[in-house]
Amino acid sequence: MTANTSTPEATAEVASETVAEAQSRVEPISAQLPNIADWLPESVLPTWQLIEQYPAFGAIIVAVLFYILALAFRSLLVNVVGKITGLTSATFDDDILLHLRKPIFSTIFYFGLTLAVQVAQLSTGSEVLINIFASVIVASWMGATLRISSVLLDALSAQDRFTLIELRTVPLFDLTSKLLIIMLGSYVLLMIWGVNPIGWLASAGIAGIAVGFAAKDTLANLFSGFFIVADAPYKIGDYINLDSGERGQVCAIGLRSTRLTTRDDVEITIPNGVIANAKIINESGGPTPKLRIRIVVGVAYGSDVDLVHELLTKVAIDHPDVCSSPPPSVRLRAFGASSLDYNLMCRIDHPQDRGKITHEVNVAIYKLFAEHNVEIPYAKQDVYIKEFPQQQNS
């Protein structure tokens, strides 16, 4: 006779492991399907019992009936609901209806195929087929939901319709919604195949810490991308300067990096972690997107100050790319060592044209001053040579 040497602690440990294993197992979708006979009225049951005697024939009938039903629902959606949405001036409802056609058809048809597999009473493989059909339904809805979320965000951010979502925050909401849809869809897919992801998530926490240390720079760029999109120190199309020396027009804002196009048509990719810690000068920011440029010019002492003021104002007004509102202004800033120092201040529409417009204004000032004999002084040095008489030797 063998004595039982198990302790209460060991028994509790085995029991806890059994409970954990039971919690990690989920009944697959194939075991949860209803019986078709439960749905049928009593008057049709004798006919259905006769069809059940021929499983292959019954499976074909179920598949054909659900295919016709799927076509009917899709046609109803297009003809009836489509006419209702066509009465509105907005186009986003038509796009949503277009994206709903495929998942609705797939749901009805593939659900009918799962019932057909159940009726066929296959000896092997029925569970796998049912899980595959259910996975196709979920994948179809995931794809449609991803497209519909983009359509809704575009509609809600359109300034001529709604102001619920600002245009600069659309990428943030778009990424968040897609991540949630993919996570929820993946969870449902795992449940279909009888896998409970809760245990996986618990064990993935430890692995996540290790991955976090290994990819800390990438994660820093991702978090910085979220903050940049939410805080919006700049937007696509803005012309920015960084204290690290980069300067250009923002052409793309991602969650990992921001891309700038320089005046040399060279694209620079800057990690968001670098931009988040940098001082950003947004030349397109402020209450108006117009940029003020400052032309510094000196004229000789004795020049007609009223004439100089008139000529500088004329140059700015005559230039086609200089804004008329606010009007250009001329200021005598200082009495220099050899000149009267003037500033011509005017605004332009596009910061990237600053270099070109500055060049053209400088050329026009030089020509106009020459026509009116206004001297632009330059540094000059006069050298005097004094000759001493030779002394005679005594």
CA dihedral sign of residues 230, 236, 237, 243? positive
Q: How far apart are CA 153 and CA 172, in angstroms?
A: 10
Over range 168-180, report the average pLDDT. Answer: 77
Q: So what's the pLDDT on residue 86?
A: 61
Q: So what's the pLDDT on residue 264?
A: 83
Cis peptide before 326 (omega within 30 of 0): yes
The domains of the chain are located at: 32-195, 220-282, 291-371
- pLDDT tens, residue by residue, 272-318: 888 888 888 888 877 777 888 999 999 999 999 999 999 999 999 99
Q: For residue 317, give every residue at least 6 positions away whose Cβ sits within 8 Å of its Cβ, in sequence order, or none.
A: 324, 327, 328
Min mean pLDDT across 98-102, 119-123, 315-319 is at 119-123
Kindly report the length of the chain: 394
- pLDDT tens, residue by residue, 323-367: 988 899 999 999 988 899 999 999 998 887 888 999 999 999 999
**Are 312 and 341 contacting, i.e. CB atoms less than 8 angstroms apart?**
no
- Give the three-state DSSP class for 298: strand
Closest CA to 371 of 382, 363, 379: 363
Start-to-end CA span in the chain (Å): 147
Which amino acid makes up residue 285? G
Over range 4-19, report the average pLDDT. Answer: 46
Q: Which fold has domain 220-282?
A: SH3 type barrels. (2.30.30)
- pLDDT tens, residue by residue, 364-386: 999 999 999 999 988 777 788 87
Q: What are phi and psi of 274, to 5 degrees?
A: -70, -45
Going by pLDDT thresholds of 50, 70 and 90, the confidence category of residue 27 is: low
Average confidence score pLDDT of the chain: 79
Q: Which fold has domain 291-371?
A: Alpha-Beta Plaits (3.30.70)
Residue 182, pLDDT > 80, answer yes
Instruction: Pick the more confident residue, 119 or 163.
Output: 119
Which amino acid makes up residue 92? F
Q: How far apart are CA 230 and CA 232, in angstroms?
A: 6
